[in-house]
Amino acid sequence: MEPDGASLLVFAPLIHCGAKLAEDIPMSEDLTASRFQALIGSRFIVTPPAGEPFPVELLEVTLLEAHDGPRPQPFSAVFVDPRKSIVWQQQIFHVEQETLGTFDLFLVPIGPCPQGLRYEAVFN
């Protein structure tokens, strides 16, 4: 029981129910800036919780200020969706990529660019 005014926070990993086993799903530690940098220009398939899958391209990876947290080198990854007519709200998307496999990722729309609509994921 929590004291008055206190909250109990519970963090649980995202687990997929489906054909892939847990060991086939990359852990957040496996999703590093260098792995993403090697995939700039690559195609990812993104599926919203209530929608059809759509392709995005990894546009850029930016290193953020290092810190003493669980991920000493945080980074952001920006993806572009060439369809300019659909804007998804920030939410957790199911992502598939040939090299990285499948995983869930919190993506935030950050605005248009000449190639389409940009979404950002921050790993910190």
> In this structure, what DSSP letter does residue 85 have?
S
Question: Tell me: domain 22-123, CATH 1.10.357, correct?
Answer: no
Q: Residue 44 forms beta bridges with which residues?
A: 56
How do residues 85-116 score in pLDDT, each as one tens digit?
Answer: 889 999 999 999 999 999 999 999 999 999 99
Domain boundaries defined on the chain: 22-123
Q: Which residue has the higher pLDDT, 31 or 20?
A: 31
Instruction: Count CB neighbours of 111 within 10 A.
Output: 9
- 3-state SS of 14-56 is CCCCCCCCHHHCCCHHHCCHHHHHCCCCCEEEEECCCCCCEEE
Please, which pLDDT band fits residue 60 given cuts at 50, 70 and 90?
very high
Sign of the C-alpha dihedral, residues 47, 96, 15, 10? Answer: negative
